[in-house]
Structure 1
């Protein structure tokens, strides 16, 4: 069996070309960690560190053993690869050549020792092994470090490959690639030298000198250095026009070897030529070369790769993408750049698969056009369609030709026009994903996405002019933002600007800012320059079911939506919407960036919403309510798993057609919130704007614990302000009080102490009016916290003791545990450490009895703090480590930051600064990511250490 492992991209394994399931991402990361060093023992502790970093689960080794066992089972059928346990650790026994990292390094090494012709091929093979970011989605420090090292190796290999291509005279085709790469690596002198040389050899010495001036200024400003000697010498040689920079003439006597191109090729078998054909003329049917083409370097390389692939069948590349994405422009640009590869001619037909003014071109009509171009007399054209196609295939047999089938309606239409000759190449463009061409004819599918930010900016500059965009950079940025990288939208902006070159760009930018009129602004008065018209053509080709789903997607808040949410939105089973979503994806109206997750381009979303308004479905007002119900009921179920001791709220039954998800456990709940996080805050606001005030308040309530765990303070505050407004509109004082209390919590978390105190007092007053002692107790706890943060420990203790008394009176055990911990903490703040130990120990015990891990973690942290101040450092460290295990188990990043900060303090107080440093560095990393107010304090502590130590696993 042929076994291959891929690490230069998502981790994957293949046997005989077929993918093999190696388990979930953490299990695959174990495989990857071993594959990086095949046939060498990797110690268990080192393997654990590689796979989990500082997030090792409580039973890390046992979990690792389970992963290894399952990997052994998955690898057993290969008969060639196995994982064995040796005294030094685990060894993965395999041929290094089966792993793409080692093949890449071997090919690069061989290329560097070979002559240019062989080296170019070896480098190309090496770089083609890369499928994306190495070990994609694995995020531990060890993998991150190795990923960065590999990216450096790749960059070095790319530079070597560029040197080879420059020596071979490919400077012209290298220029776009070098321009983009130079922007990505603005301080790399070797790359700058390559760019300068390519510009000079392309007849642009002034641009080459400008390139040198740019890097010289950047090096001086950012690094305080001058360019190195090699770059300075190249600069001087360009200034003097050194002939040595020119390529040697590969053909010093062209007249001696050049021959005029014949008007037509001789018929290889004149006796078998069809009637009416004496010779086949060279046809040049391509439309005019597209102007202002920019970017698409990767896609152009993919087309080259397909053309150069070995094999004995016709090469077919199918370019797919949404309307206005630039499929035809890419195909024609590539064709014109490679005309020398098709000396026997090029055939072109617009199949009008999505033409709003008529039906798609029938194969009989298209092939008749080809026969005319190939010189077949009209009287010799067969009447039978299959006979025509057979004649066409006979005429192109053995000829090096390019056939461009533009705007195909489907795979069947394109397949009828495929030649039978392996000497021909075919480019097909379509708004649909032509999977049938791939399965039946081996077509390489190439899907176009929007332009990258640099590509989009360059295209806009080429339309508007560099001076014009530089004069109004803010307006240009707005234009780019709202065009969203769609080439057609940028071209429409260029056309509208060309019609009124004296108008400021800000005028057009203001039009695009208005979401309700944005599609109107992207209309230059012609069907070929109208973004709405481009989308309409694709929309009209949908089935009724897919069109219905598409319209509903325009109601969703974005930026993406899951399959289950779509099912609730349209009130259909997941199985029913899956086919519609697949059709929309094949039509390139939606993208699927992750399994079961769907995203619409911003302009497509606006168009979908427009269609929903113009074609309202019966009961359409309930669609948005169903979507809100889906998120609300699922979020409440997940919130109950994150904090099972939180006081619940009552939900009304979800609308018919809504199918909420039920996360299985704490981890699944946290995963659901993390996945849906980009859409949840906007759903709170959307529900309120639609008049669903009750649901808006309830959804905001359900998000609190997740926002707290992950440090999403601003989203928490914004959603609670919406909730407070909703509660006030409803007139529900209990909900108003809850929103004030939540705002008190988040404001205090953010260090906005006066605001926090204000909201807590408002909540306490309302709960007093409502005679709600449990909620009064919750609010007293909050006031105790904010008073403590304000430096008023006596007031804080008074509030905490009031909370404890209320909890005891009402029998609220979870509240009692939290209040005991708070009282203990405040005794510490007042220097009463022995008293604090008693309260904190009671809090630990009560939290353990009721199973509140979050409360238990806080109590261990407080207990550790008390031991620290009694100079009982061993006990303090033990308490902090217990707390750390708990908070990492349920994903509380705010709590983890606090505990790591305290842990570092105790290490330092115990005379061990080398252990303090790693704890503080980990705390600072998380604090910076979530905006924790202790970030500045942690930086000061790290700056005061005698020297930086090395992080160790905690």
Structure 2
């Protein structure tokens, strides 16, 4: 090899990229449809079906918006899914966003969820609202996308979630009036209750016409009593199923007396007041084990739960949990959801009122068992994603938890339950279970650092920091502050990150824990690097490395060596940088962390480039691609491909540059990434329009 590292036959290193490029599979342009199927016993709403069909089939110059508002219990979620089903043939993709399930309703996080559903890598999008909104407009440009928005609280939310395509559509629902949208051309409809005819139809669907024969007047009174609420009518029908000898007349008379005896309050006005009476009556006739489960679920954090946590909740009872849950699903009090069960908000408000009337000691003990079950699951998922990461949570907490098949399976669990985990963290802290609160937050690290939902991350981190402070656990507080600091850094709020890192440094100086001190120095180095101070960052990484070496922490040594190598490269100390990165590569190999391996090799390539050793740089980048291509996450290959493209351009190798550009173009095209525009322009310059 020549002194500058180039071989005697320029281009051979680029030729070696061909099999690597063939192994990279761009994401398939598959149909995206995250909308749940409509319920089977849906009735009426023909006017809305006609309206949405007309909007979908009428030529337009802007995306139509249908906004529906109605009181709780009027069936808005079911209507949304029914309308989506009615116009499915007119759209290629559909996403369903429940704003009540996105902690805090932060629009940046809402748009982040929408972009993730549409296949966009959030790591490539700045975290602020403006950037995510711009990316949403780009990715929906000219696409036939249907956006369902549930739980809207103001018109501005709908405007932010409206695609940039006349072929798209938004159907939104909320408990409050959305008339402001009409000023911008939206179609606004109020969702009232079912009328007597359709109320009877729904009851007949559940009970059969024979059971209701000759009782039409009583059914009319029932429909009026609950303001035509589909949920209220379903619950009443289920009670009649439980009591075969009970007539509709007697049920209605009982409900009317309950409503008359209990005066409405601001919290139980109107339809909610009537539905409370229906729920009260229904609870009276449930099986004892079913009623116990129902009340218990009203006292615990979140409104969605894996079965394991419900089993823990009822562990000190004689309840057959599986049978009780199946009955609650049959009675429309629970819904099956991914990996567990969900309780609708109106049902939950009643279950909560019923549950909090139970014995305080039993209630709190059950809540504690459930929270600890959540913790065990989260810790097990965390360890499945990355086993050898430094933690302050005891490693034995995952014992007895269901095993996850692999890291991908564990990450899917976090993706399913992350919003519920935030509520569990908040609920744990509120009950005084401070240790459990911060331990759950620590376990969520792999999700937070890969999904960029910063509002949720910071909110959970703030609760965790406060919990660690109350528990007087300095190690935990230092760790939680570092974790929260990373979120501040990702958002670009370096001042907040600085405050957390300073506090963590002071705490780690008090605690005699070299592993903790090494970790805090790692975060401090990351912060200094964000400030652009490579020398200060290097000093922090040097000290962290020294401590990791004393501890014999192979992974810690590898990572700190990597960070040192990057700083040394920035400082122009190339030989030292290569030595540090070679050490990092040697140590990380065998730990099964192919992402870290790829990042280290990418860093080596940057040093080789600075040394004008282009063939060595290409070889390192090809190796980096080999490590991550099998993972199937094309976002991990973009940075190495872009550096390869630059090296090919610098070498004047148009054929090699075209091959790299073509692969990048195929990746960006799959998610309408705006970076594809520059790639296409460069291909045109090379005389290979479209990569041909």
Same fold (TM over 0.5): yes
Greater Cα radius of gyration, structure 1 or 2: 1
Q: Deviations over 1:23-63 (max 9, x none)?
A: xxxxxxxxxxxxxxxxxxxxxx9xx99xx963xxxxxxxxx
Q: Is the 8 A contact 1:555 1:609 kept in 2?
A: yes
Cα pair 1:918 1:950 within 8 Å, conserved: no
Q: Structure 1 residue 556 and structure 2 residue 304: aligned?
A: no
Backbone CA RMSD of aligned residues: 4.8
**DSSP-derived class of the 2:305 partner:** strand
Report the equivalent of 2:639: 901
Task: Indicate if the aligned counterparts of 2:379 and 2:397 stay in contact, CA closer than 8 A.
Answer: no
Equivalent runs, 1:233-244 vs 2, <5 Å: none
Give the aligned partner of residue 493 of structure 2: 752
Q: Aligned to 1:919, which of 664, 671, 683? A: 664
Distance 1:575 1:185, change over 3 A: farther
Counterpart CA distance in 1 for 2:285 and 2:361 is 22
Shift of 1:754: 2.9
User: Match for residue 686 of structure 1?
Assistant: 427
Question: How far did residue 681 of structure 1 move?
Answer: 1.5
Query: Is the counterpart of residue 767 in structure 1 residue 654 in structure 2?
Result: no
| Corresponding position: 1:330 with 2:181 | no
Contact 1:741/1:760 (8 A) holds in 2: yes
Structure 1 residues 766 and 604: CA distance shift in structure 2, 3 A: same
Q: Distance in 1 between matches of 2:607 and 2:665?
A: 19
Following superposition, the deviation at residue 634 of structure 1 comes to 1.7
Q: Give the superposition deviation at 1:704.
A: 1.0
Give 1:679 deviation, angstroms: 0.9
1:364-384 deviation digits (Å, cap 9, x = unpaired)? xxxxxxxxxxxxxxxxxxxxx
Say whether 1:521 aligns with 2:269: yes
Alignment of 1:849-864 (within 5 A): 849-864=590-605
Mapped partners of 1:941, 1:867: distance in 2: 26
| Match of residue 410 from structure 1 | 241
Residue in 1 that maps onto 2:531: 790
Structure 1, unmatched stretches of 5+, are 1-44, 55-139, 149-172, 193-221, 223-294, 296-323, 337-341, 357-404, 418-427, 432-491, 493-507, 512-516, 929-934
Residue 353 of structure 2 corresponds to 610
Q: Is the 8 A contact 1:693 1:727 kept in 2?
A: yes
Matched with 1:349 is: 215
**Cα offsets for 1:815-851 (capped at 9, x unmatched):** 1101111111112222333432222121111111444
Superposition pairs of residues 304-703 of structure 1, within 5 angstroms: 326=194, 329-330=197-198, 332=200, 348-349=214-215, 409-410=240-241, 518=267, 520-523=268-271, 530-571=274-315, 576-594=320-338, 596-616=339-359, 619-651=362-394, 660-703=401-444
Q: 1:182 aligns to what?
A: 54
> What SS does the corresponding residue of 1:584 show, helix, strand or coil?
helix
Report if the CA contact (8 A) 1:873-1:910 is conserved.
no
C-alpha spacing 1:833/1:590, structure 2 compared with 1 (3 Å): same
Q: Per-residue displacement from partner, 1:288-316 (whole Å, max 9, x unpaired)?
A: xxxxxxx9xxxxxxxxxxxxxxxxxxxxx
Could you tell me how far 1:752 is from its partner in structure 2? Answer: 2.2
Which whole-Å CA distance do the structure 1 matches of 2:318 and 2:659 have between them?
55
Aligned equivalents of 2:195, 2:623: Cα separation in 1: 58
Structure 1 consecutive aligned stretches of length 4 or more whose deviation exceeds 6 Å? 333-336, 351-356, 405-408, 572-575, 652-655, 888-891, 923-928, 948-952
Aligned to 1:143: 30
Q: How far off is 1:726 after superposition? A: 0.9
CA deviations on 1:338-395 (whole Å, 9 max, x unpaired) are: xxxx9xxx96435989999xxxxxxxxxxxxxxxxxxxxxxxxxxxxxxxxxxxxxxx
Distance in 1 (CA, whole Å) between partners of 2:202 and 2:269 is: 31
Q: CA deviation at 1:628?
A: 0.9
**Once the two structures are superposed, what CA deviation does each residue of 1:200-251 show, in whole Å capped at 9, x if it has no partner?**
xxxxxxxxxxxxxxxxxxxxxx9xxxxxxxxxxxxxxxxxxxxxxxxxxxxx
Alpha-carbon contact 1:828-1:866 (below 8 Å) kept: yes
- Tell me the number of residue pairs that the alignment of Structure 1 and Structure 2 aligns: 495
Preserved contact between residue 780 and residue 803 of structure 1 (Cα < 8 Å): yes
Distance apart, 1:579 and its partner CA: 0.7
In structure 1, how many angstroms separate the alpha carbons of the residues matched to 2:560 and 2:318?
46
Q: How far did residue 546 of structure 1 move? A: 0.6
Name the CA distance, whole Å, in 2 between partners of 1:755 and 1:637: 31
**Post-superposition offset of 1:673:** 2.0
Tell me which residue corresponds to 1:242.
none
Cα distance in 2 for residues equivalent to 1:680 and 1:943: 43
User: Would the alpha carbon gap of residues 776 and 874 (structure 1) be closer, same or farther in structure 2, given more than 3 Å must change?
Assistant: same
Q: Deviations over 1:74-108 (max 9, x none)?
A: xxxxxxxxxxxxxxxxxxxxxxxxxxxxxxxxxxx
- CA distance in 2 between counterparts of 1:857 and 1:684 reads 34
SS at match of 2:589: helix
SS of the residue 1:647 aligns to: coil
Higher relative contact order (CA 8 A, sep 6+): 2
The alpha-carbon distance between structure 1 residues 325 and 631, as it changes in their structure 2 partners (threshold 3 A), is: farther
Once the two structures are superposed, the pairs formed by residues 256-267 of structure 1 within 5 Å of their partners are none
CA positional deviation for 1:572: 6.3
Contact preservation (8 Å) 1:858, 1:883: yes
Structure 1 CA distance for aligned equivalents of residues 621 and 510 of structure 2: 41
- The answer to whether the Cα contact below 8 Å between 1:768 and 1:776 also exists between their aligned partners in 2 is yes
Aligned residue for 1:640, secondary structure, equals: helix
